[in-house]
C-alpha cells in the first residue's frame, strides 16, 4: 500500500476548531470546549498546534506547549507535547512521526532543551513511537494511568531520527 501524501502546518486561531476532526465523541466535544482558552494561550505565545492534512482534511494533530495549563513537566527551558493524535484510519503512515519532527524542530528553534509528554501506560503503540524517537520514561503519575516521558534536545539539530 502506498503512503498517503500529507503536509504539516501550524494551525491558526481561525481553524483551531479543526483539532476535533481527528477525535471521536465525547473527546471531540471536550476539546472544542477548550478551544477558546487554547487560542488565548496561542496568542500569548504559550502554545502552538500543528495539523497534518491530506486530501481527506485534518488527519493528525500535535500541540507544543511552553506555558499554561498543558505545559506538563516541561518547566523552564522545556516544551510539552500535547494532544498528539492521528485519525484511526490514517495510522501507521508516518503522520505522528512527521508531527513530532515538526514540534521538535520548533522547540529547538526556540532554544528549548527538552520535550516532555504524558501517555496512558497501556498505550503500547504510542509508547513504542516515543521510545523510537528518543523519549525516555521519567515515571508514572501518582494515582493515574499516565506515564511521563522526556527527551533531551540537541541544539541546532533540524530533525529527529525515526
Residue 41 pLDDT: 93
Q: Is residue 114 part of a domain?
A: yes
Residue 3 pLDDT: 56
What range defines the domain where residue 130 resides? 7-152
> Is 1's pLDDT higher than 50?
no
Each residue of 30-45: pLDDT tens digit? 888 888 889 999 999 9
Q: pLDDT tier at 23 (50, 70, 90 boundaries)? A: confident
Residue 4 pLDDT: 60
CATH number at residue 50: 3.40.630.30
- Choose between 70 and 13: higher pLDDT: 13
Radius of gyration of the chain (CA): 15
Q: Is residue 97 part of a domain?
A: yes
Residue 26 pLDDT: 84
> Counting beta carbons within 10 angstroms of the beta carbon of residue 4, is it exposed (0 to 12), middle (13 to 18) or buried (19 or more)?
middle
Q: Is residue 158 part of a domain?
A: no
Instruction: Give pTM, 2 decimals.
Output: 0.88
Q: Is residue 106 part of a domain?
A: yes
> Is 134's pLDDT higher than 60?
yes
User: Whose grid coordinates read 486530501?
Assistant: 55
- How high does pLDDT run on average in the chain? 89
Other CB atoms within 10 A of residue 104 CB:
24
Q: Is residue 62 part of a domain?
A: yes
Lookup: cell for 23 = 477525535
Mean pLDDT of 111-124: 95
- Cα 61–Cα 138–Cα 98 angle in degrees, nearest 5: 25
Each residue of 47-97: pLDDT tens digit? 999 999 999 899 999 999 999 878 877 888 999 999 899 998 899 999 999
Q: Is residue 71 part of a domain?
A: yes
Residue 144 pLDDT: 84
Mean pLDDT of 15-22: 89
Q: pLDDT tier at 160 (50, 70, 90 boundaries)? A: very low
Structural domain count of the chain: 1
d(CA 114, CA 158): 14
Amino acid at each position: 500500500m502506498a503512503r498517503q501524501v500529507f503536509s504539516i502546518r501550524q494551525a491558526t486561531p481561525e481553524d483551531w476548531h479543526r483539532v476535533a476532526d481527528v477525535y471521536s465523541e465525547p473527546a471531540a466535544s471536550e476539546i472544542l470546549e477548550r478551544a477558546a482558552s487554547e487560542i488565548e494561550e496561542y496568542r500569548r505565545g504559550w502554545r502552538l498546534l500543528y495539523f497534518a492534512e491530506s486530501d481527506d482534511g485534518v488527519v493528525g494533530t500535535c500541540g507544543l506547549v511552553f506555558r499554561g495549563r498543558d505545559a506538563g513537566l516541561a518547566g523552564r527551558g522545556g516544551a510539552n507535547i500535547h494532544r498528539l493524535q492521528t485519525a484511526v484510519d490514517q495510522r501507521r503512515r508516518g503522520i505522528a512521526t512527521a508531527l513530532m519532527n515538526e514540534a521538535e524542530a520548533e522547540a529547538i528553534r526556540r532554544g528549548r532543551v527538552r520535550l516532555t509528554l504524558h501517555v496512558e501506560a497501556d498505550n503500547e503503540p504510542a509508547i513504542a513511537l516515543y521510545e523510537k524517537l528518543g523519549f525516555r520514561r521519567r515515571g508514572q503519575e501518582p494515582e493515574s494511568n499516565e506515564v511521563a516521558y522526556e527527551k533531551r534536545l540537541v541544539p541546532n539539530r533540524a530533525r529527529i531520527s525515526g
